[in-house]
Amino acid sequence: MATTWIKPIHKAKGRTVAATLAGSIGYADNPDKTNGYEFVKSYGCDYYTAANEFALAKQLYEQQTGRGGRAGDILAYHVRQSFKPGEITPEAALEVGYALMEKFTHGRHQFVVAVHTDKEHIHCHCIFSAVNMDCTGKFRNPIRSMKIVRQISDFLCAERGLSIVENPKPSRGSYRDWHDNQEPQSNRDQLRDLIDNSISAGMVFEQFIAAMHSAGCEVKRGKYLSFKLPGAERFIRVKSLGDDYTEEALRERCLGKRTVVPKAKTDATFIPFVITSQTKFGLLIDIQQKIQEGKGMAYANWAKIYNLKQAARTLIYLKENGIDSYDELAEKASSASDDFGVKLKRIKEIEARQKEISELQKNIGTYGKTRDIYKKYLASGRDQGFYEIHRSDIALHEAAKRYFDSHGMKKTPSINTLRQEWAMLESEKKTLYKGYHELKGERKELLTAKDNVERLLGINRDAPERIADREQKRSNSHAL
């Protein structure tokens, strides 16, 4: 019975962007509620640094576009998804929440998904950045976003045999009042929208048919091409949808000989699940292992369909990226991991040095501000009465001095020199971050494709080099 809502996260008055985001994300991935971060997953960012990464993306967005920076800016969006008590495991809830965010954001925004297990009902908290991955635009919350996110959630839950709420209760009365005043979209309009979302120039016609089938439509081939929407009672002949939707027209659209600009959508009654190169793919499921763990046949049937979809997506990815052999794929995956590791290592080095500079600046400032008091204290012969009056300043000065001694500093650098070094490091870090997310996504796709191909081709996944590779990926993931 997945019930879902979405709310914007505004910049809090008197708080920085990072602090506002840290408060929201910190609530979501609270280790006391997520079994010590076990049920937390992120996309395009690392969940323990997500607040800073979201804040950096907003800063880059403002620099590139000149927009933003106002009080009350929307920094992110918070989506909550609740499930029927006793019907789903935390692991499965995390998978559903992650899939919900992938489909709702189309993979264009960083997000964090956390499953809370502290209540009787398992529920997900999903927070995604308002700024997109390339920092050139923001998510514009459409008036029907609540309905859209609920429909995607319902589709994912229905696909997995989970309960859904047929008639969700209104939130403060606004959603139901708004919803009841809307005219329902006809089945033909829904089918036109689904076709427009599933078809693209350059695809084979059979790929389009497969995409429609994957979106949940029944397909009837014969004298007339017909589709039946999920839950609908009748097939609809495509020729009845208009001149741009006849079978001949659809074949022309696949070949790029006919271009159709979809009408502006006023509703999102159905969100298709389409197999295209833009759809992110996941790892194949080891069905036998899951059955041994106690999963039922319903899960096994769903997993078989899931694996077919992932295999199709993997094949499309390999073809579109010109990868013709396993060796080439393995080489590209290894190269991407190496490049990512180098970039990540440098980012971590910069952040560590910036932390050192901040600490050094703090101690230099403290030392300078308390120096005169400390000199008078020494001149007084360490008078106890003087010490009691100026205890705080003297303690701070001595702590700063101990810091310099522990770092072997006989002479401290000037504040201006440190500021210049900080600025240079910050500039380098921003440059690295521009390609960081793209490289991270490319690496993930290559490693996922490699694992899928190994399973499909029966390559020994327990060979020594495979074990070493898995350990390396695991250590890299912990470092992110």
- Given this model, what pLDDT does residue 177 score? 45
Band of residue 293 on the pLDDT scale cut at 50, 70, 90: low
- Given this model, what pLDDT does residue 271 score? 36
Least confident span in 32-41, 136-145, 411-420, 425-434: 136-145
What is the chain's mean pLDDT, rounded?
79
The residue ranking higher by pLDDT, 302 or 374, is: 374
Chain centroid, CA 283 distance in Å: 17
- Given this model, what pLDDT does residue 168 score? 56
Band of residue 139 on the pLDDT scale cut at 50, 70, 90: confident
Distance from first CA to last CA of the chain, Å, rounded? 34
Distance CA(242)–CA(229), nearest Å, equals: 17
Band of residue 186 on the pLDDT scale cut at 50, 70, 90: confident
Distance CA(38)–CA(34), nearest Å, equals: 6
Least confident span in 110-114, 184-188, 279-283: 279-283
Write the CB contacts of 473 (distance below 8 Å, at least 6 apart in sequence): 337, 447
Backbone φ and ψ of 125, nearest 5°:
-115, 120
Chain centroid, CA 258 distance in Å: 35
- Given this model, what pLDDT does residue 435 score? 75
Out of 94-108, 211-225, 308-322, give the one with best mean pLDDT: 94-108
Percent of the chain with pLDDT over 70: 79
Please tell me whether residue 320 adopts helix, strand or coil conformation. Answer: helix
Band of residue 236 on the pLDDT scale cut at 50, 70, 90: very high
Contact assessment for residue 171 and residue 28, using Cβ atoms and an 8 Å cutoff: no
- Given this model, what pLDDT does residue 469 score? 53
Distance CA(230)–CA(40), nearest Å, equals: 32
- At 391, which amino acid appears? R
- Given this model, what pLDDT does residue 173 score? 46
Residue 143 burial class via C-beta count within 10 angstroms: exposed 0-12, middle 13-18, buried 19 and up: exposed
Token representation of residue 324 = 């013709």
Band of residue 282 on the pLDDT scale cut at 50, 70, 90: low
Exposure string of 311-334, with b = 16+ CB inside 10 Å and e = fewer, is bbbbbbbbeebebeeeeebbebbe
- Given this model, what pLDDT does residue 119 score? 79
Residue 286 burial class via C-beta count within 10 angstroms: exposed 0-12, middle 13-18, buried 19 and up: middle
CA torsion, points 354, 356, 357, 363, in degrees to nearest 10?
A: 150
- Given this model, what pLDDT does residue 378 score? 92
Please tell me whether residue 163 adopts helix, strand or coil conformation. Answer: coil
Exposure string of 361-399, with b = 16+ CB inside 10 Å and e = fewer, is bebbebbeebeebbeebeeeeeeeebeeebeebbebbee
- Given this model, what pLDDT does residue 376 score? 93
What is the average per-residue pLDDT within 24-28? 90
Distance CA(385)–CA(404), nearest Å, equals: 27
Task: Give the residue among 91, 233, 232, 80 at the shortest CA–CA distance from 160.
Answer: 91
- What does the pLDDT look like over 66-104, one tens digit per residue? 777 676 788 999 999 988 888 889 999 999 999 999 988
Least confident span in 196-200, 297-301, 391-395: 297-301
Task: Give the residue among 152, 150, 185, 156 at the shortest CA–CA distance from 168.
Answer: 150
- At 315, which amino acid appears? L
- At 140, which amino acid appears? R
- At 244, which amino acid appears? D
* CA quadruple 124, 127, 133, 136: dihedral sign: positive
What is the average per-residue pLDDT within 408-412? 84
Instruction: Assign 3-state DSSP to the chain and report helix, strand, coil percentages, each to 5.
Output: 55, 10, 35
Whether 225 shows a pLDDT value over 90: the answer reads yes
Token representation of residue 380 = 């007084």
Band of residue 144 on the pLDDT scale cut at 50, 70, 90: low
Band of residue 110 on the pLDDT scale cut at 50, 70, 90: very high
Backbone φ and ψ of 43, nearest 5°:
-135, 130
- Given this model, what pLDDT does residue 76 score? 93
Distance CA(360)–CA(421), nearest Å, equals: 12
Whether 129 shows a pLDDT value over 90: the answer reads yes
What is the average per-residue pLDDT within 219-239? 88
- What does the pLDDT look like over 337-362, one tens digit per residue? 888 888 888 888 998 998 888 888 88
What is the average per-residue pLDDT within 155-178? 62
Residue 137 burial class via C-beta count within 10 angstroms: exposed 0-12, middle 13-18, buried 19 and up: middle
Give the C-alpha distances (Å, rounded to integers) separating 163 from 2, 83, 217, 304, 331.
7, 8, 21, 21, 44
Number of Cβ within a 10 Å radius of residue 302? 17
What is the average per-residue pLDDT within 43-71? 81
Which residues are paired to 109 by β-bridges? 132
Contact assessment for residue 242 and residue 195, using Cβ atoms and an 8 Å cutoff: no
- What does the pLDDT look like over 414-470, one tens digit per residue? 888 888 888 899 888 888 877 777 777 788 888 888 888 888 777 765 544 444 454
Write the CB contacts of 313 (distance below 8 Å, at least 6 apart in sequence): 275, 279, 280, 281
- Given this model, what pLDDT does residue 277 score? 43
Distance CA(209)–CA(198), nearest Å, equals: 9
- Given this model, what pLDDT does residue 298 score? 58
